[in-house]
Amino acid sequence: MPTLSIPPQSLLTLGVILFCLGLFGALTRRNIIIVLVCVELMLNAANINLVAFSRLGASPNLDGQVFALFTITVAAAEIAVGLALLLAFFRLRQSSEVKDMNQNKL
């Protein structure tokens, strides 16, 4: 099978871009759902890295892909809890805006 050579730097750069994109979104978007989605983006940046290293790292092996699978599972659990909390919050506050989470402060 002919190998397609992709320089590892470009994959890592993709990871950095995804991470920063997710971070920027998580810190600026007003809707909690979008914020949660952006957090997923950050996790996926890590996944990209893991998979990239699994193939192109210093000593390539399958551990990275296994790690990525675990991460995806865990992230799914996390987002499920997140959405459940959002639902509970919406019931009480009639809002899904981040800025309305302002009961606990100072």
Partner 1 sequence: MNSTPDFLHQPYWYTMGPMMVVAATAFVVMILEFIFRSGNRRWLSGISMLGILVALGVAIRFDVAQVHQAAWIKPQLLLNTIAVDSLGTVFSILILIGSFLVLLFTFDYTGRTKVAAEHTYLILFAVVGALTMATAFDLITLYVGLELLSVSSYVLTALKKKSLKSVEGGAKYLVMGSIGSATLLYGFSFIYGISGTTNLAAIASSAQDLWATYPTMVIVAFVLVVAGLGVKLSFVPFHMWTPDAYEGAPSPISAFLATVSKVAGFAMLFRILVWVFGSGSSAEFYWIAIIAAITMVVGNLLALPQKNMKRLLAFSSVAQAGYVVVPFALFGFITASQDWYGTIDSVMFYLLAYTFMTTGAFAVAHLVERDRESGESDALIGLARRNPWLATALTIFLLSLAGMPLTGGFVGKFYIFTETVHLREVWLGIVLFGTSVMSFFYYFGWIRKMFIRDPSDNPVSPKPIQVAPAMHTLLGLCVLGTLVLGVVPAAFLHSLGQTPW
Partner 2 sequence: MAAYAWIIPLLPLVGYIFLLLLGKKAPEGFVAGVSTILVLIGLGLSLGVFSSLAGTDGAVTYTWKWLSIGSHNIDVGFQVTHLNALMLVVVSLVSTLVFLFSLGYMHKDERFSVFYQYLNLFVFSMLALVISPNLLQMYIFWEMVGLCSYLLVGFWYFKPEAALAAKKSFIVTRIGDVGLFIAIILLFASTGSFDFNTIFQAAASGKIALGFISGSGLITLTAILAFIGAVGKSAQFPLHVWLPDAMEGPTPVSALIHAATMVAAGVYLVARLYPLFELSQPALTVVAWIGGVTALLASLMALTQRDIKRVIAYSTVSQLGYMMMALGVGGYVYGVFHLMTHAFFKALLFLAAGSIIHAIDTQDLFDMGGLRKKMPITFWTFLAGALALSGIVPFAGFWSKDDILTATLKSGHPVLYLFGLIAAFCTAFYIFRVFFLTFAGKPRDEKRYEHAHEGSWVMTLPLIVLAVLATIAGFFNSPLNGNALEKYLLRDAGDAVVAGIPTTSPAYLLGHTYPANVGLMALSVAVGLAGIGLAAWRYANKNREITVPTGEGNFLYMLSYRKFYLDEIYYAIVVAPGKVLAKISDFVDRYIIDGIVVVVSRLVYVIGLGLKYTQTGQLQTYGAATMLGLFVILAIALFRQGGVF
Q: Which residues bind to partner 2, rule: CB under 8 A? A: 23, 26-28, 35, 98-99, 101-106
**Which of 91, 74, 87 lies closest to 39 in space, CA to CA?**
74
Return all residues near 90 (Cβ < 8 A) that are at least 6 apart.
Answer: 96
Cα torsion through 82, 14, 52, 42, rounded to 10? -10
- Considering the complex, state which of residue 35 and residue 50 has its C-beta at the smaller distance from partner 2: 35
The entry of partner 1, partner 2, none that residue 57 binds, CB within 5 to 8 Å by partner kind: partner 1
Site string for partner 1, 24-63 (x = CB under 8 A): --x-----x--xx--x--xx-xxx-xx-xx---xxxxx-x
| Number of other residues whose CB lies within 10 A of the CB of residue 18 | 19
How far apart are CB 42 and partner 2 at their closest, in Å? 10
